[in-house]
Structure 1
């Protein structure tokens, strides 16, 4: 008996040491990466860096398609190339669709917020419900309201002198919000006064402090920044030293703030949801469909209002940030604006407004949309995923439990793919000369593809990409058809330092002027026609 137990212990010990030796040998094959500090690893390098994606892209050219980082003992694998992302995140998506734990985000309600939720049944129910109203065919139903919103945006840019540019662009996301909440909700203020802070601030100056205002668009933008700043590497010491989570709220300000903000966000989302249900007479909003049909099956009442609120937050950031960078690009590259004007004058003319049916005849405008999303994506890095098992990619070891970070900026700025001038805004990179000789057409490989990497990969790919693409196309098309955008001399603040994963909008000055006489009257006639149609359909 004694000898049997001894051999069992020896066998178990041998197995343990062999397994450990194999593991250690595998770890010697981790992807290359920058040398870190003792104990804290690379955390000081990434936490002190404004716009972490620029640093990651610099490392990409030093270390290759995968970069290894150590953040206080947490393995991080940064994916820098599209081929690596397609192989790891799409072809092996079952192993890479879950999320690592972010403590502060979790206290904020991360398990209720779809982009941050783990790969659970709840996440699948949330994804299925939103996909039902945002997939490719469903997106076609929103063309009329997106066209109307584009006309409203042009009116605001030209004739509304009381709102900031950011406020006007936030309003351009009203299409997506009308899908979620219904038309009446977007232009209403119905939050309880106890929830509301200063209403004259558009975006909170300090992302770790949640600012809720009486304006639904302002509030959603601020909620978005509260979440995305919470997952920025190095933002909170508790992420590096998880033992600090066990401190009571009285000794942990981050915890007090997060618990309070979760309640305030939940109350705002609940109020929006219930008000939408009361106002949606046609029952066409996602709020009503989750309530009236089986679409919300598997979701609790609270999960429903969180799902809609968080998707609305994501839609707002994507649309307004991208349109802001489009306008900024037009001030920097007047040549591009001139070529777009020429295409629009040739295809559309000035007696009718652009429509979605014109898309196939506007390859240069389509290239402008693709180039904006490549040049300055709204989310240059995506919330990390987690490797559920040990894995290998091109002789590089990916350990189980490693956080997987998508460096979308690095992929979009790949000189081998887009050419050496990746920092320039050049839509022509997506175009080729057509068979007609003097006209452009999209290159075959991007005709039905994104041409960029800004919507992510695999099962976590942006669920609203089709609606967002359509909104950007008709918005950019209508602005260029109607407006001259001119730079105004003054200081440009590129906001290079940020502790947020959202691409900060530069602070710049520009002037909008009508491209032809009588535009104000024509735009109002279009608005009146839309109203007449809605009232008589």
Structure 2
């Protein structure tokens, strides 16, 4: 055993010396500026263990500019901090920047099968093409009815479900996307690989090196997501900075044993979810059924189908639930915003009918709230790095071949030159202007067909489900504000909790939900009864 350790230490020292010599040569090239690092290990100690790395990167942005250079133990890392630079590098030169660098722990977990983490390969292209077919802007319209229904269900839960936590209620808000992928019956079912039965419903954040699956599909998907995102957090694993450590024997590398175990459990879970969906989807409308019944999945193996549906579900869950949590949090902090939204909803919709997608263009303030919540607290403040396939330049700066290129989405969303000096504030008005008559508000022309934020990423790696996600957030936020007053409860609010995860941690806060008008409970139940009636009627017609 001691012999293995000595060989490993010697190999690491040789590798560090080689990388140091290589970096000394690169210093003569015009790399972007960045913080001074330590000898040999560079900036790795400054980043490793730093909770909410996006805040540190944004601090460096204002010191070093739109590009920041970091030396991560010999690995070049270029941080993109401005939207202008991201559009030029990741959009206009997307062919050069769509591949992923190797994340060894993530790869052992299944990153080679998970679309957000796998390289720009034929497998990735087949997965992306299949999901785009069911999630693109035109396809997103067909999900409006179920999204409207899920918004009503969410309001009912917020008001009358006193047995679930706020997080559990918001997780359930992702049921729209999951029903698109797995079918409604599967989402409402409880199924679990037998090897995981009886394990408690706890989040993986409590033990980032151990995946815990439960009988609750939503909880399990959330745990899988955090297991992956914590595995790619910069500095989380020494082996990603020094790949030679991958060859250390397994008994000296517990990360390897843990990752292979969790990959097996994830794959089994995804297979179970997929097969249950095929069994339960009588109408064959889910993504699982379409991958099986049509040419959509013709270029994917069975295992790739399990993984693409599972991973898209994980991404949808985190995006929807985290963003809605920050929306509710914002309403407790900014009651004036809530008041203005209530006024617009009362004027446009009234209280005798619920909001619908046909109301969207007449609700500019609500649309601005959606844009602002994604700018103010994006669910993924940083994303998995790309890799430069060739030597490149941006302005006067050199980007070396093989460098990891890291999108600091938080820094882009908090750009004071774009959004003004009050970027820390939640202010939907930054996307609005007065109409020509001056008596109403409208979305500024530059934001009418643009996101107004960078939270969905750039280029060929841009979020494939952004249209469905935007629609879900609009109708969810609209329905919540139409139905309830969100009242803060006196409590200690912690916004800076330590996390070694690329997912924005939900703040610890409390609030209460108060119906905005009498008879809301019976009105919501009537809406649900109507939804159920029309769904059963539709199912009967399809069977005929």
Q: Do both proteins adopt the same fold according to a TM-score greater than 0.5, normalized to the shorter chain?
A: yes
Q: Residue deviations 1:104-154, cap 9 Å, x none?
A: 000000000000010000000000000000000000000000000000000
Q: Does 1:224 align with 2:219?
A: no
2:436 & 2:176 partners in 1: Cα distance?
A: 37
Partner of 1:444: 445
- The alignment partner of 2:514 has SS state of strand
Contact 2:201 2:219 in 1 (8 A): no
Contact 2:49 2:236 in 1 (8 A): no
Q: Residue deviations 1:43-100, cap 9 Å, x none?
A: 1111131100000000000101000000000000000001100000000000000000
Which piece of structure 1 moves more, 184-193 or 512-521?
184-193
Partner of 1:91: 92
Partner of 2:542: none
Partner of 1:40: 41
**In the superposition, relative to structure 1, how do residues 374 and 513 fare at CA in structure 2: closer, same or farther (>3 Å)?**
same
- The alignment partner of 2:299 has SS state of coil
Shift of 1:243: 1.7
1:46 & 1:446 partners in 2: Cα distance?
A: 35
Q: Residue deviations 1:186-222, cap 9 Å, x none?
A: 1111113322353343554222211100000000000
Contact 1:204 1:210 in 2 (8 A): no
Partner of 2:339: 338
Contact 1:114 1:307 in 2 (8 A): yes
Partner of 2:197: 196
1:83 & 1:26 partners in 2: Cα distance?
A: 25
Partner of 1:155: 156
RMSD: 1.3
Partner of 1:380: 381
1:346 & 1:122 partners in 2: Cα distance?
A: 50
**In the superposition, relative to structure 1, how do residues 304 and 164 fare at CA in structure 2: closer, same or farther (>3 Å)?**
same
Partner of 2:50: 49
Q: Does 1:414 align with 2:415?
A: yes
Contact 2:204 2:227 in 1 (8 A): no
Alignment of 1:461-480 (within 5 A): 461-480=462-481
- The alignment partner of 2:112 has SS state of helix
Which piece of structure 1 moves more, 221-230 or 47-56?
47-56
Contact 1:269 1:306 in 2 (8 A): yes
2:436 & 2:335 partners in 1: Cα distance?
A: 27
2:374 & 2:207 partners in 1: Cα distance?
A: 26
Partner of 2:182: 181
1:203 & 1:327 partners in 2: Cα distance?
A: 24
Mark the runs of 5 or more structure 1 residues left unpaired by the alignment: 1-19
Contact 2:204 2:211 in 1 (8 A): no
1:204 & 1:497 partners in 2: Cα distance?
A: 11
Contact 1:204 1:211 in 2 (8 A): no
- The alignment partner of 1:147 has SS state of helix
Partner of 2:18: none
2:204 & 2:368 partners in 1: Cα distance?
A: 30
Partner of 1:274: 275
Contact 2:171 2:317 in 1 (8 A): yes
Shift of 1:304: 0.4
Partner of 2:129: 128
Shift of 1:25: 7.1
Partner of 2:236: 235
Q: Does 1:490 align with 2:491?
A: yes
1:25 & 1:114 partners in 2: Cα distance?
A: 33
Contact 2:388 2:404 in 1 (8 A): yes
Shift of 1:27: 4.6
Partner of 1:119: 120
2:27 & 2:254 partners in 1: Cα distance?
A: 40
Alignment of 1:339-378 (within 5 A): 339-378=340-379
Shift of 1:40: 0.7
Contact 1:321 1:378 in 2 (8 A): yes
1:163 & 1:150 partners in 2: Cα distance?
A: 17
Shift of 1:495: 4.2
Normalising by structure 1, we get a TM-score of 0.95
Alignment of 1:203-214 (within 5 A): 204-214=205-215
Mark the runs of 5 or more structure 2 residues left unpaired by the alignment: 1-20, 539-544
- The alignment partner of 1:70 has SS state of strand
2:425 & 2:60 partners in 1: Cα distance?
A: 21
1:190 & 1:59 partners in 2: Cα distance?
A: 46
Contact 1:344 1:362 in 2 (8 A): yes
Partner of 2:513: 512
1:25 & 1:257 partners in 2: Cα distance?
A: 37
Q: Residue deviations 1:13-33, cap 9 Å, x none?
A: xxxxxxx99x94785300000
Shift of 1:244: 1.6
Contact 2:230 2:500 in 1 (8 A): yes
Aligned residues: 517
Shift of 1:287: 0.2
Contact 1:495 1:505 in 2 (8 A): no
Partner of 1:4: none
Contact 2:193 2:268 in 1 (8 A): no
Alignment of 1:54-73 (within 5 A): 54-73=55-74
Q: Residue deviations 1:445-502, cap 9 Å, x none?
A: 0011100000000000000000000000000000000011010001112243110000
Partner of 2:16: none
1:401 & 1:120 partners in 2: Cα distance?
A: 17
Normalising by structure 2, we get a TM-score of 0.94
Contact 1:197 1:211 in 2 (8 A): no
Shift of 1:389: 0.1
Q: Does 1:290 align with 2:291?
A: yes
2:487 & 2:310 partners in 1: Cα distance?
A: 36
- The alignment partner of 1:109 has SS state of helix
Partner of 1:523: 524
Q: Residue deviations 1:377-415, cap 9 Å, x none?
A: 000001000000000001100000000000000000000
Contact 1:365 1:477 in 2 (8 A): yes
